[in-house]
Chains A and B, each alone.
Chain A
């Protein structure tokens, strides 16, 4: 048998070998495999900034970059501002705002489910400018949209840095949803703006508890937001919880802000009760707001929902992926552990979605993006923040998905015929064609009659409202007109299939027929005369 040999003499290890053996080359907090990897691979830190970096000259000139951003936003929002005819909601806004305050409040409490502040503002705007054109009436929304881009950029800057801010602003400028509301005579873009300023002010308050101006700004913006739309509560719930837990801020300041939010909310409860008692929303928003897979996917991709736009499913799917990825990474990646605003951003981005989906599943259907629109700024800030903070491949993919989704939505929205039904051209056509004694009859319950009042007034052709062509043709006004060889203009949106045949079966003739493209379906106008 071979003789046993003693252990070899010890030789000191070189440092690298020592580190490899002990496995402690990397920081102790890193997982072991990372420490191993750092040793065995070339892992020189590569900044994610490199691939997504802004041009040097832009980085050197933050104000220039910000101005470019606002310029892009303005170009997007002001382009085609007046191209589309008014959507019926906008005409409701106009209809309420042009009245005196008493009538306005009555109408708002009966027709709308929003607080009255926006209509008061619109009332003064109409008084001040005498606006009646689409462009002028939508101008405040477009300006607010640009303001929203600035506010989101500011929010992104204070939760992240300038790159995050500019990216979030760019996403906002190209968001199909923001574009939709920035070109609409409605309160949504204003409430998004006010909510963004409120959240940013509260964050600033937590970051700089000694600066009282943030208390003031938070209260002013928050109360304004509450008076603009009830849906802001979906953002203010997580905001309130976060602020309540922010011990950096003096308790008195926290309670002051929260109390200021609560006061108008409580004051508005009777109005909300009255509005709900009118039957509107008693059984949910509408039939189409039910829980469906595609509906939920579109809801989750709220910032990329261009509302009136059809056939942009990839936009929703990409937006869905970008948003879910960003929120999940923010919530679950360790590197965000030290981010003070982490759960605030997650809450403001997710809570509205979760609540709306749960309510839609369990109570009544509300799963449409107008109820979650208020979360859009925070969703976009989350996307921008995460994209700049995670490894570049993932960050680049998220940003690419978000921008492609936005581009698809914006491109689909900017059609030459506008995004809403072209009732303007249809009514103008009737105004040109109609002679004294003719009758203008609106069918299918939408856009004509009361909701087309503005155009009827503009073109001097008041419309009668009917539920069906038969009803329209047998109405006394129509019969009288037809008997005296006058015409009846039947206008329908959505178009009624077989309308022409129905007219002919009723014993009348169609002298002319026109279709006006725009939005999801064309508006159809038939000029009916006695055979």
Chain B
């Protein structure tokens, strides 16, 4: 015998199964990889991760249930008596009339009844319905009291009729003449109902996915195999005795179909699903109406899941439990979680809250594709390209709806607390509702956050921009369904989609374009330039950009002896993202001018150069020489070396990119000639010298320079700090130097990271400036360099004012602070955490 049409082709089932298995493997790999990088992230990232896990588990739980659809074959000839119930609430008269005529035209001998609930529904056409029934000579049951809803209406009729089988047809559905011929033959003795696929009059593109091929051709046949297919309330035939066995149609839920099926299955009855439509009717054609319908369904299903849970329901097989668990709870909750996917790009773009490791976009995409690609293939195999796209779009659209449904269902344990009921409107469908305002708000947020981000001058988060635009595009189709008029929705759809899609193209082109992007300020300013001016005029110099502390997390940086030779490679540090590359420069050394070549190379890699600028000539094999150039600070302040400073400042100003100068560091020590207590210096002279040099840079226009006031991390009093501090107008960061000297070091001092820094950080934090640990090192001869570094990367979280940590990786005459291989391994592993690789933050500093 040949199975009914309407099942999935066998080869598509095979492809879908293979893809599903690959998706499960790929998803596992992806989630394990994600789990490794999630530990350092914040709540938003955790929510994102949980949503991913939930989505994956939904897939894992659904695949076995979808694995084998049950192909029903043509049934034996029909038998038994049939009553056809047409349930009417407040539908238009002509619609009911057409439905009635179609029901009367059913070939199989039957009795037709109109179940008129118009008075209960407050309809003004209730009397006309009775007249209509009289005209056609059919019985009309008009209720004036009893349980509200369709179930009450059906039960009222059930008590007054006696056919062996009961066909239920909604008032907006036209029955096909062979309705009973195909279905009645399936009623073996234990079969309680035969459900069918729903068919609607829809526009060609079915933007609201009313067709739902995936559900009717994949899910229901698979449920049918496990005797778990459920009635959709229309085009279904019930066995009267089965209904009697459960006391009639279930009135516990808002709509009767799901819970009635559930009760019948729990009582041991069987069901049959035939994937062939036997009626054709109307469906929601506006997003608001669809949202209202799905809210009703979702609330109903989740209410069942929460308060009559299938996993503890007596009488169900374990496979039925999983099917009902999936249908009534897991699907809705997993979809609701997708709100996270919609909102995360907004959080990133508007508030700088990152949920993914930005610096590993390629790696992320690779892992994501391992899951996403087979998942997409599975969907396409199951539902076709259009069906798959619609499924994904509807998931995004319905996510907020299901969130609301979950909250409503939790509050509706008792059937007396039903907050609402009703049927989908067939006429004058609502065009906007509170629910669709949610989707619109999300759409506006997505688009607005992209606009906000694109207005930034530097460091645009292209990943989040693209993500937001893709999400916005996916919402366009459903959001545009604001009217029952096709031309309105069509134009709305184009009007919403086109700018977002073009913006997506623009963003992709901007990412792809091989030329480095100019900042918007450059573009804006430069557009005022000459239209056909002579060559080489540059009317819009690049604006100066200054480094700001990260909005979250800590910049990592490093001093490497190779940097002194002009190198910029950080390959040694593996995946650790070294944002700040640090080198030292002496005023009277061999290379005393600003090394633009090195700085440019640093900037090319998207990093920031930091120069510890030292007014001395470092002695051979020593880091101490406090007596160079007596009264050094006063002489600096008096302008003795202004020519050099000005030259340096001009070069720094010309650089224009963010850079950091740590000038006269560790002033609270005694080992450098600029220290406040030695060499004829005073704290006041230090302040004067610092301000003087700062002023020269300011006048040179070097507003791209961030200034670090650096002290050594040893016991220092607040008073001493105050006498040294040059002032808020002259300092951008407060820098601290601190080391674990190890037993062999100059100080023979083994101390933890917190012991080295915490008290000094506490001391300088009240200054209100971001703190930079500008020299952080541990002796290679210390007890456990790798463990010390691991502790440092972790413990820095306890110092919230610390916004940058610059490692010291070099051998010195005092101690060998080179990072051991183990320590480098720790760095490569731990410093990749998002907390230690925040996005760069800067501002224009004109």
Contact = CB atoms under 8 A, between A and B. Distances in A.
A369 B527 contact: yes
A325 B516 contact: no
A293 B285 CA distance: 37
B485 A288 contact: no
B646 A505 contact: yes
Interface in A316-335: 317, 320-321, 324-325, 327-329, 332-335
Contacts of B101: 10-11, 13, 17, 21
B282 A40 contact: yes
Contacts of B138: 8
A295 B485 contact: no
B494 interface: yes
B532 to A, nearest CB: 5
Nearest to A280: B535
A92 B494 CA distance: 45
The 4 A-B pairs at the shortest CB distance, nearest first, are namely A497-B701, A288-B526, A328-B498, A16-B94
A286 B526 contact: yes
B532 A13 contact: no
B507 A368 contact: no
B532 A89 contact: yes
B508 to A, nearest CB: 10
B136 A8 contact: yes
Report, as a range, how many residues of chain B touch the other chain.
35 or more
Interface in B496-554: 497-499, 502-503, 506-507, 509-510, 512-520, 522-535, 537-541
Given A357-B509, A446-B539, A13 B97 contact: yes
A313 interface: yes
Contacts of B486: 30-31, 33-34, 37
A320 B537 contact: no
Contact of A320 (B487, B499, B653): B499
A292 B510 contact: yes
B513 A361 contact: yes
Interface in B476-502: 483-488, 490-492, 494-495, 497-499, 502
A81 B483 CA distance: 48
B517 A290 contact: yes
B491 A5 contact: no
A342 to B, nearest CB: 14
Interface in B77-115: 80-81, 92-95, 97-98, 101-102, 104-107, 109-112
B494 A33 contact: no
Nearest to B846: A497
Interface in A405-454: 420, 445-446, 451
B112 A8 contact: yes
Nearest to A26: B486
Contacts of B136: 8, 11
B518 A313 contact: no
A8 B111 CA distance: 8
A288 B527 contact: yes
* Residue picked from A317, A365, A369, A420, most chain B C-beta under 10 Å: A317
B751 interface: no
Given A8-B112, A89-B533, A498-B700, A297 B503 contact: yes
B140 to A, nearest CB: 13
B494 A497 contact: no
A476 to B, nearest CB: 24
Contacts of A398: 495
Interface residues of A, number: 101
A33 B509 contact: no
A529 interface: no
A186 interface: yes
A290 B454 CA distance: 15
B392 interface: no
A520 interface: yes
B282 A43 contact: no
Nearest to A392: B488
B516 A296 contact: no
A494 B544 CA distance: 14
Contact of B499 (A188, A291, A293, A325): A325
* Residue picked from B515, B516, B701, most chain A C-beta under 10 Å: B515
B527 to A, nearest CB: 5
A181 to B, nearest CB: 9
B491 A520 contact: no
A165 B106 CA distance: 59
A324 B509 contact: no
B94 A17 contact: yes
A291 B517 contact: yes
Nearest to A8: B104
B640 interface: no
Contacts of B629: none
Contacts of B699: 497-498, 500-501
B164 interface: yes
B351 to A, nearest CB: 20
A20 B98 contact: yes
A324 B531 contact: no
B201 interface: yes
A391 B487 contact: yes
A129 interface: no
A92 B513 contact: no
B591 interface: no
Interface string B309-350: 000000000000000000000000000000000000000000
Given A34-B203, A112-B532, A329-B495, A288 B502 contact: no
B499 A290 contact: no
Contacts of B106: 7
A492 to B, nearest CB: 12
Given A1-B164, A2-B163, A37 B527 contact: no
A88 interface: yes
Contacts of A43: 484-485
Contacts of B107: 7
A240 interface: no
Interface string B430-454: 0000000000000000000001001
Contacts of A369: 527
Given A16-B97, A32-B203, 16 more contacts: A1-B80, A4-B81, A7-B110, A21-B98, A32-B201, A36-B282, A288-B525, A288-B526, A291-B513, A293-B510, A296-B509, A296-B510, A320-B499, A361-B509, A451-B533, A501-B700
Contacts of B522: 287-288
A224 interface: no
B419 interface: no
8 contacts: A7-B109, A20-B98, A21-B98, A33-B203, A307-B527, A325-B494, A332-B494, A394-B488
B535 A279 contact: yes
Contact of B520 (A36, A286, A294): A294
Interface in A100-146: 111-114
A271 to B, nearest CB: 14
B510 A291 contact: yes
Contacts of B428: 41-42
B515 A280 contact: no
Given A8-B136, A357-B509, A88 B487 contact: no
A9 interface: yes
Contact of B95 (A40, A87, A335, A365): A40
A243 interface: no
A333 B490 contact: yes
B201 A36 contact: yes
Contacts of B491: 329, 333, 390-391, 394
Interface in B439-476: 451, 454-455, 460, 465
Contact of B527 (A34, A308, A496): A308
Given A31-B204, A288-B526, A393 B104 contact: no
Contacts of A267: none
A92 B517 CA distance: 30
A316 B164 CA distance: 70
Interface in A71-92: 87-89, 92
A208 interface: no
A402 B700 CA distance: 43
A320 B504 CA distance: 13
